[in-house]
Amino acid sequence: MGSLVNDEPGEQMEVNTVIPLNDKSMETFPTENSYMTKPGYRSEEEGEDENRETWSKKVDFLLSVIGFAVDLANVWRFPYLCYKNGGGAFLIPYLVMLLVGGIPLFYMELALGQFNRTGAITCWGRLCPLFKGIGWAVVLIAFYTDFFYNVVIAWCLHFFISSFTGQLPWVTCNNAWNTDLCRADALTHPGNSSNLTDTLYNISFIGNFTNQTMEPQLIANMSKSPALEYFERGMLEVHKSGGVFDVGYLKWQLVLCLLGVYLICYFSLWKGIHTSGKVVWFTALFPYVVLFILMCRGATLPGAADGVRYYLTPNFTSLASSEVWVDAATQVYFSLGPGFGVLLAYASYNQLNNNVYRDALLTSAINCLTSFFSGFVIFMILGYMSLKSNVPISKVATEGPGLVFVVYPEAIATLPGATFWSIIFFLMLLTLGLDSSFGGSEAIITALGDEFPILRKHREIFVAVLFAIYFLFGLASVAQGGVYVVNLMERFAAGYSILFAVFFEAMVVSWAYGAEKFAEDIEVMIGHKPGRYWMWCWKFVAPIFLMTIMIFGLVHYTPLTYENYTYPLSASLIGWAIALSSILCIPGFAIYSIITAKGTLMQRLSFLLTPQNNREAKIRKSINTIKVNENNVGDHV
């Protein structure tokens, strides 16, 4: 083997490119079949990663990814979709969409982040300079999303603090915010589902007919539960707002809650992943403790078995509906969360030799099992409420904020020790929301910090400024009509735009960069290439998966509403402008790059479609350099 160095001058030249590290440095290089740590050397090309921090422990990374993926939607959306779309039969389209669309995209983004070891902007600029706009689009989407998502977390914090009372404030109808329509037994009347969509009435309209000549049954059907009035009138005070352009006064309680959320986020993220990686040990694991406790308590309640039966009883005829399959695809995609730049950012702090394939399968499986498990907890309580109030489960079951801020608190209030159950439930929601918010913020911080190193050097100040901007712009969302702003942002901030961005991600990786080349990158990290199944999903199935969701959403588009309020056209136009502002980053940056590049049009396109740095080749060069260096040293021993 020693003669190889002497006989091949080209190999000898590579030895000269090796630069000794200081005594404290160590770099990990892959061998053909495994990975070894080689102290004392680094290649010039890989020097850019020398100072990048890595996770203190592998479990910190796993909990961060799980915490991001497992969020409020796992509790308030999946169980309802399962019940709505055929019970146990819904698991069939859900698993199909998970295997052909969700996990492949999840795996792709983790692998991209780990191999390139940069945030979204720099990563896409290296991968395919023409489409660097994908990185900017992803950052902008994450930025918009945090505006409304952190407000919902502030609601959770408000409910959590309000639970520390002798009597929960959503139990009685003798509070200052209650109306004459409030009835403590409102849920017992058919037609009153405690669903925000079905039971919020225009007070001025109802007031015209509330008189002694009304039919008793009509009055009953128009009544509201204390929990609904607390959420609608006590906390939000949305009745004092005229709409999205007349949000009224700031709610100082919600302002303080929003400030509290940002303070928690700041002190969890200001020092980087070494602090957030420790915080997620609580925020990611505590929800499972609470879900287990609630399941044990729910199993002892009368009617729990009926609730589970409603949840799981299969109706296979529902599988013939295209809406069921689109619901499954949508839930899978938005639950796993590829495209926000979070998975890419978290994975960029991994060691190069981390088994990203195993991590992708493990974390996505845990996320989906959590959704399924939470369904038991939710429907046990709904079954109990149905039996207790003599209302069909179909009238109690709902999704979204109406479930966790109205129906579930109402159920908890009927249990012995209601204060305890309320505290742990809303603390669970708070932690579910926080670690997802950590992920969205870290995606922005990492992307901008890698693109502009001066921001990374002054991370504490940068994060403080970022959250200050969030807080100031978010004040409109904690006014009396703030829910209208939240609903507008939720509809347009990360709906079509994130699907559009990830569609381009899949197409660029598979066709511009090349699926085969991407597979070789993965081989460098884990020692073997992805199978044909993954290649097929990345190249064909995942783009079709995303396009189907987009087309179905556009075909079934309806004007934006919130309860009985229809948004004016100008508000919808603002919403579409928000969505387009991120989408247009992709073609906009591509056009700008073509205009500013040098050479003929074909030369410009050729340059912009070529990876900026061939990381896979550089790593393999480092491997060969180390081998040659070892052999050379052996010849002189």
Q: Could you tell me the sign of the dihedral formed by the alpha carbons of 437, 443, 445, 448, in that order?
A: negative
Measure the CA–CA gap between 410 and 192, rounded to whole angstroms: 13
CA distance 220 to 601: 71
Q: Is 365 annotated as a binding residue?
A: no
Tell me whether residue 335 is annotated as binding: yes
Report the candidate in 327, 329, 316, 318 with the shortest Cα–Cα distance to residue 97: 329
Residue 354, marked binder: no
Is there a contact between 89 and 316 (Cβ–Cβ < 8 Å)? yes
* Residue 570 among known ligand-binding residues: no
Specify whether the CB–CB gap between 135 and 123 falls below 8 A: yes
CB 128 within 8 A of CB 231: no
Assigned token pair, 394 = 């179909």
67 is in an annotated binding site: yes
Q: Can you tell me the distance from the alpha carbon of 538 to that of 531, in angstroms, rounded to the nearest whole number?
A: 11
- Tell whether residue 436 is among the known ligand binding residues: yes
Query: Which of 363, 52, 625, 78 is CA-nearest to residue 633?
Result: 625
Q: φ and ψ at 53, to 5 degrees?
A: -70, 155
Angle at 166 between CA 163 and CA 171, to 5 degrees: 70
Q: Residue 80: CB partners within 8 Å, gap ≥ 6?
A: 397, 398, 399, 403
Find the length of the chain: 637
H/E element holding 18? strand 18-20
Strand 565-566, strand 561-562: pairing: antiparallel
Neighbours of 573 (CB within 10 A): 11
Residue 69 annotated in ligand binding: yes
Answer yes or no: is 485 a known binding residue. no
- Is 74 among the annotated ligand-binding positions? yes
Annotated binding-site residue numbers: 67, 69-70, 74, 335, 367, 432, 435-436
Annotated binding-site residue numbers for Na(+): 67, 69-70, 74, 335, 367, 432, 435-436
